[in-house]
């Protein structure tokens, strides 16, 4: 167990104290050295990310249970999600993770302008992601594809007569391309009569409950990430960071990668079901 002791940064602190270095401003009073402070922060952030994973794991668990209980609902309902928009958002988030990683590198190399630029791009990506998410949510809202308590798919209401049904379907088709301008058409594998009530399994809303809970919680984390990146950006503009003190950039970066990672799981689980 002595190797555990060896891992702790006592050696570092010993040096800095014997050398009687002045305590720089960016090292809090209770740390012996910048390195000890950085390591403590990093450990703290990793532990925090563990709590985040467990936070989402409740929903992943619920997903598994309900997909097991209602497999037909998941296969049926996922056709209402727009794969192209989902893929676009995946690409946007992965790209933003790259720029975030580059921002951390820039901070370590004391490249202040590059740091600011990369943080700005990351922020921009976050806003693009939320914009696309908004478009998707609006489509769902317009078609009544909401969580179980509010689920009233336009197709399901129109089972009184063929005319009403076709009118509704027409509206749905018209709405499809307009809302998803980046996507040329409604996904081809969407069953043409998907909205016809006799084909729809019962309790379709349970899929949308999970969908909104998971993507909604994820979107809240993106918003939190925007706050964190903005904070880092302001500090970068103020010139707080240097090659010995870049911890906060690194920590926010780790958080941002986790937000990205959660989406990378959400995308196939929700959009790419077979």
Partner 1 sequence: MDHSSSAPVDYLHADRGIRSWIFTLDHKRIGVMYLVGIAASLVLGGLFALAIRTHLAIPALTHGTTPAASVPAVGEPAAVAAPEAAAVQADAAAGLAAEGQAPTAASTLQETPPRYLLTPRQYNRVFTLHGAIMIFLVIIPGIPAALGNFVLPLMLGAKDVAFPRLNLASFHLWVIGAVFFLAVLFTGGLDTGWTFYTPYSTTTDTRVVTAALGAFILGFSSIFTGINFIATVHMLRARGMSWFKMPLFVWSLYATAVIQVLATPVLGITLLLVAAERIFGLGIFDPKLGGDPVLFQHFFWFYSHPAVYIMILPGMGVVSESISTFSRKHIFGYRFIAFSSVAIALLGFLVWGHHMFTSGQSRLAGMIFSALTFSVSIPSAIKVFNWLATMYKGSISLQTPMCYALAFLFLFGIGGLTGLFLGALSTDVHLHDTYFVVAHFHYVMFGGTLVAFLGGLHYWWPKMTGKMFDETLGRLGALAIFLGLNLTFFPQFVLGSRGMPRRYFDYSLLLDRHPEFAGLNVLSTAGAFLTGLGFVIVVICLAHSLWRGRPAPANPWGAATLEWQTSSPPPKENFLRPPVLSESYDPYYLDDLEYDDKTGAYAGVPLGLA
Q: Which residues contact partner 1 by CB under 8 A?
A: 1-2, 4-5, 8-10, 13-14, 28-31, 36, 39-41, 43-44, 47-48, 50-52, 54-59, 61-62, 65-66, 69-70, 73, 147-150, 202-203, 205-206, 209-210, 212-213, 217
Taking the complex as a whole, the smallest distance from the CB of residue 28 to partner 1 amounts, in Å, to 7
Considering beta carbons, is residue 73 or 123 the nearer one to partner 1? 73
Considering beta carbons, is residue 47 or 181 the nearer one to partner 1? 47
Taking the complex as a whole, the smallest distance from the CB of residue 124 to partner 1 amounts, in Å, to 29
Distance CA 63, CA 207 (A): 9
Considering beta carbons, is residue 3 or 198 the nearer one to partner 1? 3
Considering beta carbons, is residue 39 or 110 the nearer one to partner 1? 39
Taking the complex as a whole, the smallest distance from the CB of residue 53 to partner 1 amounts, in Å, to 8
Region class of 104: left (phi > 0), else alpha (psi between -120 and 50), else beta: alpha
Question: Is-contact 108 124, C-beta < 8 A?
Answer: no
Show the beta-strand stretches assigned E in 231-272: none
Question: Is-contact 257 52, C-beta < 8 A?
Answer: no
Distance CA 119, CA 228 (A): 11
Taking the complex as a whole, the smallest distance from the CB of residue 212 to partner 1 amounts, in Å, to 8
* 3-state secondary structure (DSSP) of residue 52: helix
Residue 60: DSSP 8-state: H
Taking the complex as a whole, the smallest distance from the CB of residue 58 to partner 1 amounts, in Å, to 4
Nearest to 199 by CA among 233, 169, 241: 169
- Distances from the Cα of 166 to the Cα of 145, 152, 154, angstroms: 18, 17, 11
Considering beta carbons, is residue 156 or 183 the nearer one to partner 1? 156
Distance CA 90, CA 67 (A): 23
Considering beta carbons, is residue 7 or 189 the nearer one to partner 1? 7
Distance CA 206, CA 74 (A): 9
Taking the complex as a whole, the smallest distance from the CB of residue 231 to partner 1 amounts, in Å, to 13
Considering beta carbons, is residue 22 or 184 the nearer one to partner 1? 22
Return phi, psi of residue 225, to 5°.
-65, -40
Distance CA 110, CA 102 (A): 12
Taking the complex as a whole, the smallest distance from the CB of residue 254 to partner 1 amounts, in Å, to 14
């Amino acid at each position: 167990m002595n190797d555990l002791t060896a891992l702790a940064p006592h050696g570092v602190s010993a040096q800095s104290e014997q050398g009687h270095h002045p305590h720089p401003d960016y090292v809090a009073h209770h740390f012996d050295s910048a390195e000890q402070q950085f390591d403590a922060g990093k450990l703290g952030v990793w532990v925090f990310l563990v709590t985040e994973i467990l936070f989402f794991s409740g929903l992943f668990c619920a997903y598994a249970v309900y997909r097991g209980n209602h497999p037909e609902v998941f296969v049926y309902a996922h056709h209402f999600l727009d794969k192209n928009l989902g893929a676009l958002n995946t690409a946007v988030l992965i790209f933003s993770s790259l720029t975030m990683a580059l921002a951390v590198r820039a901070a370590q190399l004391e490249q202040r302008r590059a740091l600011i630029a990369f943080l700005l791009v990351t922020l921009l990506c976050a806003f693009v992601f939320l914009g696309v998410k908004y478009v998707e949510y609006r489509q769902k809202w317009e078609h009544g594809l909401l969580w179980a308590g509010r689920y009233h798919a336009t197709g399901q209401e129109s089972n009184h007569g063929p005319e009403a049904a076709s009118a509704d379907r027409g509206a749905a088709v018209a709405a499809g391309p307009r809302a998803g301008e980046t996507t040329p058409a409604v996904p081809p594998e969407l069953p043409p009569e998907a909205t016809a009530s006799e084909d729809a399994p019962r309790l379709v809303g349970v899929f949308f409950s999970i969908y909104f809970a998971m993507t909604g919680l994820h979107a809240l984390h993106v918003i939190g990430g925007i706050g964190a990146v903005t904070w880092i950006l302001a500090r970068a503009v103020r010139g707080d960071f240097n090659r010995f003190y870049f911890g906060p950039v690194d920590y926010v970066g780790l958080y941002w990668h986790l937000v990205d990672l959660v989406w990378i799981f959400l995308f196939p689980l929700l959009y790419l079901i077979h």
